[in-house]
Structures are given as C-alpha cells and as structure tokens.
Amino acid sequence: MSEESELLARGREVQKKLWGERVASTGGGVPAVKVAPEFFELVAKGCFGMFWSRPGLDTRSRSLVTVAQLAALGKTEELRGHLMGALNLGIKREELIEVLMQTSCYAGIPAAVNALNAAAPVLGDAPPAKP
C-alpha cells in the first residue's frame, strides 16, 4: 500500500469514528464536496490521516482539543460537526460544555457565548447537570 493510500485509509478510519461510515466515504453531504471533492480527500489524508492518527494523543483528546480550538476561532459550522463527532466518541455533553466555557478564559467571553449558542442545537438547550 502506498503512503498516500495508507494516509487516506487512516484518515477515513478516524472520520468513521467521529461521524460514521457515510461521512467517511462521501463527505457527509456537505455542499462543498460537490464543488471540490478532491479537497475533502486531501483533508482525509492530511488532517485525519497525518495528524489525528498520530500516536501522541488519543482520538478523544484530539476531539476535545479540536472543539476548544474551533470555539476559540469562532468556526461555528465546523464546531457543530466536531461536537457531533465528540458525542459519537462517547464524550459527555457536560464535558463539552465545560470545554466551551473554558474557552472564555483564553479566547474571551464573546467567543464562548458564540460557541455555546452554536452548540445548543447539537447538545440540547437543557442546563447541564451540576457536578
């Protein structure tokens, strides 16, 4: 198997863990896939095959880091997708809310509010259980 094929296979495996077979094989119906399908193969190879599958962090940790980064950057569309992926990995709703709230310390309250607003449809709008 060539290195490119290996990266694609590893990337698709990570995507499958996050979003299931449909997303791993078709891009999940994101409109941009129709415009630039080759871009999403590059994302699978580079982002998920090269970085997400590195041995230094497990997929769960990488998911939490990604949620925090997307929240801090205000990338709400991607954030919603990664919140769904995090839930698919078994990460608890309360943990994700804590990560989004933590964002306020380093990226500012407006970034955290924006992220929590984006998360509400994915995580539900009921208040989290008290620890």
- How much is the pLDDT for 90? 98
The first and second tokens of residue 73, run together, are 């950057």
- How much is the pLDDT for 131? 55
Residue 117 has pLDDT above 60, yes or no: yes
Closest listed residue to residue 11, CA positions, set 43, 39, 48: 48
Helix (H) or strand (E) holding 114: helix 109-123
Q: How do residues 9-67 score in pLDDT, each as one tens digit?
A: 999 999 999 999 877 666 666 788 889 989 999 999 999 999 999 999 999 999 999 99
Neighbouring CB atoms inside 10 A of 32's CB total 10
Q: How do residues 56-106 score in pLDDT, each as one tens digit?
A: 999 999 999 999 999 999 999 999 999 999 999 999 999 999 999 999 999
Distance CA(41)–CA(17), nearest Å, equals: 17
Q: What does DSSP assign to residue 53? A: T
Burial class (CB in 10 A: 0-12, 13-18, 19+), 121: exposed
User: What is the model's pTM?
Assistant: 0.89
In the chain, what are the domains? Answer: 1-54 (no CATH), 56-131 (1.20.1290.10)
Distance CA(66)–CA(7), nearest Å, equals: 20
The residue ranking higher by pLDDT, 99 or 4, is: 99
